[in-house]
Amino acid sequence: MFKGLMPAMVTPFDEQGEVDLRTTEAVVERLIDAGVDGIVALGSNGEFSHLTTDERKRFAGEVAKIAAGRVPLLIGVGASGTREAVELARHAESMGADGVLVVPPFYWEVGEEALFKHFATVAESVGIPVLLYNFPMLTGIDLSPGLIARVAGEYPNVAGLKDTVTEYSHIVNVVREVKPVRPDFVVLAGFEDQILPGLLAGSDGAISGLANIAPRLFVDLVRAFEKGDLTEAARLHRRVLSLMVLGQCSDPPIGAIKLAMNKLGVAISPTVRGPALPVPEEADEKVEGVLHEAGLLPTREVG
């Protein structure tokens, strides 16, 4: 169910910083029209950590209503405490989500036994699939392939992993260690530069934040690989790589992603919530330049 290209959807805000449900519908429809294989709401790019629990629940329900079962829907239920993660997971299930995405509990850097218990408790609390979310850059915790294999081996509804890592070898090692035990366990790259290399290593696709900007480009990359057209896949991969420069345009990259979407015709405000900073004015031209380089805006005329 959770394979191919799944955008890590942004959470639209209006100019006052309130959740913008009208724009949310437009964003979801644009992703579905692009042929995505699923949608992930309330992940890192969805600013889940900047929303209240009530806002997260309301947004999850609205996205589920808009998507209406047309594509698989994952809801992020990351929390610093196990009880809140369970509460959010049960709510997501009640709203019709197809699965939940669970990041390690952040703040305390707990050991593997505590991590196992956290994931196991969430998995036991729902009947829908659970995907683990490894993002050591933000959580300070790197899920080992051995731990992932243990959780997957003991809990059949732990169905996959989003692996947002800078070390390609981690994706390779997870594929090698987990898939022989659980062939149905999906491994999804989280960073865009790992999408094609991950697929070549035996992963199943990606959950991508930058796919909000140009979902068709990312879908085409995965489709080219699935068809065995590695020349085309490599060409599209290079275009995807050019978008990664956007990470330098705002702190964190979420504002730049929203601004890029706006420049491509999506009626979305680049507004983010603190501690994220607004996109600086000087980044406007740089964002346009990145979109030109990626072939998403018409080539600029010289002279």
Residue 215: give its domain's CATH number: 3.20.20.70
The answer to whether residue 284 sits within a structural domain is no
Selected catalytic residue, list 3, 57, 125, 133? 133
The answer to whether residue 274 sits within a structural domain is no
Distance CA 36, CA 217 (A): 10
pLDDT tens by residue, the chain, 303 residues: 899 999 999 999 999 999 999 999 999 999 999 999 999 999 999 999 999 999 999 999 999 999 999 999 999 999 999 999 999 999 999 999 999 999 999 999 999 999 999 999 999 999 999 999 999 999 999 999 999 999 999 999 999 999 999 999 999 999 999 999 999 999 999 999 999 999 999 999 999 999 999 999 999 999 999 999 999 999 999 999 999 999 999 999 999 999 999 999 999 999 999 999 999 999 999 999 999 999 999 865 544
The answer to whether residue 151 sits within a structural domain is yes
Distance CA 135, CA 8 (A): 14
Boundaries of domain holding 115: 4-232
Eight-state DSSP code of residue 45: T
The answer to whether residue 113 sits within a structural domain is yes
As for how many domains the chain has, the answer is 1
Query: At residue 62, what are phi and psi to the nearest 5 degrees?
Result: -65, -40
The answer to whether residue 280 sits within a structural domain is no
Q: Does the active-site annotation cover 227?
A: no
The answer to whether residue 291 sits within a structural domain is no
The answer to whether residue 272 sits within a structural domain is no
The answer to whether residue 114 sits within a structural domain is yes
Check if the beta carbon of residue 108 is closer than 8 Å to that of residue 138: no
Q: Does the active-site annotation cover 94?
A: no
Selected catalytic residue, list 3, 57, 162, 179? 162
E strand intervals along 103-230: 130-134, 158-163, 186-189, 205-208
Per residue in 43-74, pLDDT (tens digit) is: 999 999 999 999 999 999 999 999 999 999 99
Q: Does the active-site annotation cover 65?
A: no
